[in-house]
Structure 1
Amino acid sequence: MKVSVIGAGLAGSEAAWQLARRGVEVELYEMKPLKRTPAHVTDDFAELCCSNSLRSDQLENAVGLLKEELRRLGSLIMTCADATRVEAGGALAVDRHGFSAMVTEKIRSCPGITVIPAEVTELPEGKVLVASGPLTSDALAQRLGALLGADTDLHFYDAAAPLIAADSVDMDSAWLGSRYGKGSADYVNCPMTQPEYDAFWQALTTAEEAPVHGFEDQKVFEGCMPVEVMARRGHDTLLYGPLKPRGLDDPRTGRWPYAVVQLRRDNAEGSVYNMVGFQTHLRFPEQRRVFSMIPALRNAEFLRYGVMHRNTFLDSPRLLDRYYRLKKEPRITFAGQMTGVEGYVESCASGFLTAVELSRRLRGLAPLDLPQETALGALGLYISDASVTQFQPMNVNFGIMPPLDRRIKGKREKNAELSRRSLEIVDRMKEEILR
């Protein structure tokens, strides 16, 4: 039994690991270090190109539920994320370099996985799992385009936030704390008065953007929108988004500021912070000029500027089944963000599910249909739902799961009960899933 896995990102690494654990021989193709995309900066696997946050770790949040399902089922990515986490309040954030290095070491030392450093331009024979990601190389994208027709022509643009040296932040103009005092004081909060915000907003909305071929605002995915695009939607938009001051009491005044920019730790040492919600594709000099208008960042040292890159995804409801298999050629399976599951954890989840199903088929076992009541099952059903006519990438959410059979007062309480129901199902099916 052999499977060719293309791409050692989050989905490909998870899939390769799960396949090997189930006795399947894996040839894992990864074009790094021979070739990189503009967004990649290291040669490690599972590189986090944008944020270092895997988002909420609370069971009242759907992505928190998805993490817990994966933890209980032996996810490689979750094991490495938990081992390299850095404090981030109620979120799971990681030391991005430590995380990728750990995934790389585990994959390279795993019996049954052979890493092949090569750019794939033609799909191998036999069972193939394509997890090349939204930054698929041009050569492979052309090959997939020939296979799928115009379906790979769909795309959106993704953006990464700047990284800042911690010791260059003016802490006389900032303070450490988490929203509503939840958890430990893990964020650097950089407040702005109304006049400071007004000047910042004006500069941001008129700053010069870097040239990005074919960029249109309407193609920007809402979950990773460049901060300047968000600002152009209205003066107060940022105040309800990444700069919202709710729950952040300035210890100097005891009140919420007019606006707050938050910095989150990006490595275990705490020497690097990223600007939360500040994905951008402004020109580098413009980033320095505009972001230095934030009082606490007036002398900031930018270790990496924000970058913008194209993400490609499939028209999955028309092309794929609930097991992420290509309907017209089932020997080919897709996983990761290319399928329209948006987010690090969701990409990992798709790699996990495809590996479980693919290994079962190879061993002659019946398909394992995780129900829609689970986050893992709901994702697979969402991307294959033929009734979806305007398909767009989406994060996991409780809206794609069936409602409870009884009314529960309070959103948090209801979400917690949805999570409890899901985890009970996962626990009942665990032995068969791990088979």
Structure 2
Amino acid sequence: MELDIHIIGGGLAGSEAAWQLAQRGLRVRLSEMRGAGDMTPAHQTDGLAELVCSNSFRSDDDTKNAVGLLHHEMRRLDSLVMQAGAKAQVPAGSAMAVDRDMFSEAVEKALSEHPNVTVVRERVDTLPPTGSVIVATGPLTAQSLAESIVEATGSERLAFFDAIAPIVHRDSIDMDIAWVQSRWNKRTEASNEDGDYINCPMTEAQYEAFHQGLLDGEKTEFREWEANTPYFDGCMPIEVMASRGLDTLRFGPMKPVGLDNPNDRTEEFPQGRWPHAVVQLRQDNKLGTLWNMVGFQTKLKYGAQVELFRTIPGLENAEFARLGGLHRNTFLNSPIVLDHELRLRKAPNIRFAGQITGCEGYVESAAVGLLAGLMAASEFAGTRWSPPPRTSAMGALLSHITGDANAETFQPMNVNFGLFPPLHDVKKKQRKEAYTERAKADFGSWLATMDRIAA
């Protein structure tokens, strides 16, 4: 098949970009190094769009949540990631979580069977000097290609650490101690009958001992080249959070509010309605056999993880399908090196997409891949690219990456209402709903007036 555009990287962003282009009649070569004898420190398979950290796409509420609004906009643009997510969805309360294997298989099947897509298992070591290219290699870009990118950008790449949460076998959890419930009993159509999270309660003494164990546990040592690399706040290792204060975790991933322990024994939980702290686990696969520890990204060594996590009530005999880990992520200083159409200023035949641009999160990565695909398709069609309005989730995220952010302090960012043009005349309690209502109206108008992007 003759080539129109070369996409490097078969993660969420690259897969989404390939789908958008192929659907518009463009011929795509999708290069993925996994499956050609190479692997990253975080991936476990060679499947396209493998989810390497959480299995959650976060909130699916499109009425007052920024990422739920992003889901809505992507669905309106025929997103492959959202289609595959629907096929692989598992219960997660108001969140959208997926069976990670089913999700990857659905994405790979759709692309492999598309007549306009050729998936090639190969490692690309340097940026192609000619031709239309989208680089979507993600935060784990291979060293050789990363060096080529640094040379092309003329700017030092930035980096941060990202940590992976452990996964527990469901049948090893003691349900005489733990219980199933969603916080505040919130449900969706995909919810389980009793709730979507397994909750492990802690007394004050248990929590304080656990907190100390996080501080004292043996940690992964950094290599010399990893020194002074910052963490991203959205995926902070739990022991780093613990170091910020005794109660930090109780107001974060271990908060007990809205969770009523049916096994409450007054002498153990004298403070009243809720436990002192709660460890939550969320379903990780369709069968419900694997559950991940929510917010428990960690850089503790494996032995320390097993020893400490088995002190959690209900997990005394826990069997782990995967333990936590730590890897280094890289991303561009996009406000400096990319233009408003995600093109490399020094080599405009090359676009970047996904997390390497400095967005954070599965859905955000896929959304930027979707946009890169639309931009490239518009360029091939000879039509003027009109970006989505800044009042929309996609427009706000794109604006942040390509110019709104301060280049001196640029860090990976999840979509959030802080990126949207403010609504100062709306009361704070109604502001989130107002943001989403405005976004849907403006995004709908953009879709209606946008030129049909076709090759």
Taking structure 1 as the reference length, the TM-score comes to 0.96
Distance 1:387 1:79, change over 3 A: closer
C-alpha distance in 1 between matches for 2:306 and 2:196: 24
Q: Which runs of 5+ in 1 are unaligned?
A: none
2:345 is the alignment partner of 1:327 = yes
1:46 corresponds to: 49
2:119 is the alignment partner of 1:115 = yes
2:150 is the alignment partner of 1:145 = yes
C-alpha distance in 2 between matches for 1:243 and 1:45: 33
Deviation, 1:321, is: 1.7
Q: Deviations over 1:155-185 (max 9, x none)?
A: 0000110010000001111100000111140
| Identity %, equivalent residues | 49
1:130 corresponds to: 135
1:210 corresponds to: 220
Contact 1:227–1:277 at 8 Å: present in 2 too? yes
Q: Deviations over 1:251-306 (max 9, x none)?
A: 23372100000000000000000000000111100000111110111100011110
Deviation, 1:387, is: 5.8
Among 174, 180, 204, the alignment partner of 2:178 is 174
1:426 corresponds to: 443
C-alpha distance in 1 between matches for 2:326 and 2:94: 28
Map 1:190-205 → 2, pairs under 5 A: 190-205=200-215
Contact 1:217–1:229 at 8 Å: present in 2 too? no
1:335 maps to amino acid: A
Map 1:158-307 → 2, pairs under 5 A: 158-183=162-187, 184=191, 185-213=195-223, 214-215=225-226, 219-253=230-264, 255-307=273-325
Deviation, 1:433, is: 6.5
C-alpha distance in 1 between matches for 2:228 and 2:61: 32
2:102 maps to amino acid: G
Deviation, 1:356, is: 0.6
SS of match in other structure, 1:157: strand
Contact 1:73–1:434 at 8 Å: present in 2 too? no
2:416 is the alignment partner of 1:397 = yes
Compare 361-370 and 419-428 and name the one that shifted more. 419-428
Among 3, 12, 27, the alignment partner of 2:14 is 12
Q: How many residues align?
A: 432
Contact 1:318–1:386 at 8 Å: present in 2 too? no
Contact 2:74–2:367 at 8 Å: present in 1 too? yes
2:40 corresponds to: 37
1:63 maps to amino acid: V
SS of match in other structure, 2:347: coil
2:409 is the alignment partner of 1:407 = no
Compare 246-255 and 102-111 and name the one that shifted more. 246-255
Q: Deviations over 1:30-50 (max 9, x none)?
A: 011111112111111000000
C-alpha distance in 1 between matches for 2:379 and 2:91: 41
Deviation, 1:328, is: 2.0
C-alpha distance in 2 between matches for 1:136 and 1:18: 23
Distance 1:207 1:148, change over 3 A: same
Map 1:101-112 → 2, pairs under 5 A: 101-112=105-116
1:31 maps to amino acid: M
Deviation, 1:115, is: 1.0
1:2 corresponds to: 4
Contact 2:254–2:279 at 8 Å: present in 1 too? yes
1:7 maps to amino acid: G
Q: Which runs of 5+ in 2 are unaligned?
A: 265-271
1:133 maps to amino acid: G
Contact 1:342–1:394 at 8 Å: present in 2 too? yes
C-alpha distance in 1 between matches for 2:227 and 2:290: 32
Taking structure 2 as the reference length, the TM-score comes to 0.92
State the 4+ residue runs in structure 1 displaced beyond 4 angstroms: 214-218
C-alpha distance in 1 between matches for 2:97 and 2:400: 26
Deviation, 1:428, is: 2.1
Q: Deviations over 1:180-213 (max 9, x none)?
A: 1111401000000001111111111110012232
C-alpha distance in 1 between matches for 2:111 and 2:365: 17
Deviation, 1:149, is: 2.9
C-alpha distance in 2 between matches for 1:429 and 1:386: 21
1:368 corresponds to: 386
SS of match in other structure, 1:346: helix
